[in-house]
Amino acid sequence: MDFTIPGHVQDIVHRVRQFVDDVVIPVEQTLLKEGRDITKAEVLELRELAKAAGIFAPTMPKDLGGMGLNIMEWVPVLETAGRSLLGPLALHCSAPDEGNLHTLHLFANEDQHEQYLRPLAAGGIFSGFSMTEPPPGAGSDPTMIQTTAVRDGDEWVINGHKWFTSNGEVADFLIIFARTNMEVSPHKGCSIFLAPIDTPGIRMVRDMATMGVKDFGGHPEIRYENVRVPHSAMLGEEGQGFAITQARLGPARLTHCMRWTGIAQRALEIAAQYAATREAFGKKLVEHQSMGFMLADSEMELHAGRLMMQHAAWLLHNGEQARSEASMAKVFISESINRVLDRAVQMCGGTGISRDLPLSLWYEKARAFRIYDGASEVHRMVAARQVVKKYTQQAAKPAAAD
């Protein structure tokens, strides 16, 4: 692996950093001061400014209005955008749209490309990914899928109950995961459909309130009641649902890691600056060994996480699935990010838990990172299977002759 960041990417990172510092963070500070969420109009205004700055849609190809970067080049760019929770929204590389864009780019046919992908890539509309279900449906175990789609002539009739459909409150269309064949295993019997949000039978029940201030777009609970979509609404082929989802989630897990690393890096900087100026017990906080150790531990964990992201991105760029590597990165980074933020809050004391700084908000938001896109326990299971497979096969090989 070559860890050198190409010159053109360094330039992009510099421009993104300047945009986040000069344009995005002032909006963030205004929202914190006013105690409110960002509006759809404000997001769209930020996106126009990002387009004008030439830093819009870094994960999309140029023919779709993006920057044409590869996944290895995403790492420093998305981290820099992620220095504010609003940065990825402004640059149009936030979840779930970023993952949905990637999915559509891989699997959408020509008509779906024009109806859904191109408008979404332009940043004027929003999308939702509707897969997670309340018990007893699909959560960490997607094979427990309860939502069904039954063929009726040239249409499919979808019935089911979903929740945590991120962006659902602002989505113009939904990507819906459903069981289409009960005679085979869920891995072969699930498919994905595209449906405009105003399709009859799509009923928003409520927004799922979560820790911290509300996420842009919300996480609605949705009921699908005899929702009819044409066969042409199917994304990819029938029975390809799990394969499509896996193709989506590999890179999406890494982009979550990139964005949250940006937040954690900024939190570390805030904590270091605070500790370098705040005095207690006769000296600066940073001169107390316990404070210095907190800073060192955070720096080490962020460094290790970046190396894991770069390695997994390098594997994906070179055509590998990187399933185990992406899982290990997701676990390590999601858990270390929470530790970095916890230390930053602790070092800043009362100011850290106030809304004068964004640390407490990030602290609340980061807790969910250990759950969405695969809980830490699930990814540990994936990594453990690879360990067993690798070392039991190795042990089964005949010993080399002397």
pLDDT tens sequence across 160-185: 999 999 999 999 999 999 999 999 99
Residue 20 confidence (pLDDT) above 80: yes
Q: Give the contacts of 145 (CB within 8 A, at least 6 positions apart).
A: 133, 137, 138, 177, 178, 179, 186, 190
% of the chain with per-residue pLDDT over 70: 98
Q: Where are the chain's structural domains?
A: 7-122, 127-235, 242-396
What's the gap between Cα 340 and its chain centre? 19
% of the chain with per-residue pLDDT over 90: 94
First to last CA, the chain: 35
CATH of 127-235, one of 3.40.50.970, 2.40.110.10, 2.170.150.20, 3.40.50.300: 2.40.110.10
CATH topology of domain 242-396: Butyryl-CoA Dehydrogenase, subunit A; domain 3 (1.20.140)
Question: pLDDT at position 250, please?
Answer: 85
Confidence of residue 396 (pLDDT cuts 50, 70, 90): low
Question: pLDDT at position 3, please?
Answer: 85
Give the number of other CB atoms < 10 A from CB of residue 153: 7
User: In angstroms, rounded to a whole number, what is the distance separating the alpha carbons of residues 14 and 18?
Assistant: 6
User: In angstroms, rounded to a whole number, what is the distance separating the alpha carbons of residues 84 and 19?
Assistant: 11
Question: pLDDT at position 377, please?
Answer: 96
238-296 tens-digit pLDDT: 999 999 999 998 899 999 999 999 999 999 999 999 999 999 999 999 999 999 999 99
Q: Which long-range contacts (CB under 8 A, 24 or more apart) does 68-72 make?
A: 69/9, 69/12, 70/317, 71/251, 71/254, 71/313, 71/316, 71/317, 72/310, 72/313, 72/314, 72/317
Partner residues linked to 175 by β-bridges: 129, 194
Residue 8 confidence (pLDDT) above 90: yes
Classify domain 7-122 at the CATH superfamily level: Acyl-CoA dehydrogenase/oxidase, N-terminal domain (1.10.540.10)
